[in-house]
Amino acid sequence: MTKPMTYEAFLDEVTTLITEKYDVIDEAAIQMVMRAQEDEFFSGHDDNPKICTQDRAHEDARTVFKKYK
């Protein structure tokens, strides 16, 4: 398992992964992550920073992209 990141770094990583994996422009990826935050998708991450890992960022990028594209 990878080392946990801060919550903010984790959100940045999810955004970056969306742009890289799905060929989405930065602004669109940011909007997806912001909508997911508004829907409290990341609330557990804020409560338990240990889940803010690189592996989880890949999973969450896939989920956020599929749900908010």
> In angstroms, rounded to a whole number, what is the distance separating the alpha carbons of residues 17 and 24?
10
Which DSSP string do the residues of 11-47 spell out, in sequence order? HHHHHHHHHHHHT--HHHHHHHHHHHHHTTTTHHHHH
Q: What is the pLDDT along the chain (69 residues), one digit of tens a residue?
A: 568 999 999 999 999 999 999 999 999 999 999 999 999 999 888 788 899 999 999 999 999 999 999
Q: Would you state the pLDDT for residue 30?
A: 98
Neighbouring CB atoms inside 10 A of 56's CB total: 19
Q: Helices 54-68 and 26-38 meet at what angle, rounded to 10?
A: 90
pLDDT of residue 1: 54
Can you give the pLDDT at residue 3?
83
Statement: the pTM of the whole predicted model exceeds 0.85: yes
pLDDT at res. 17: 98
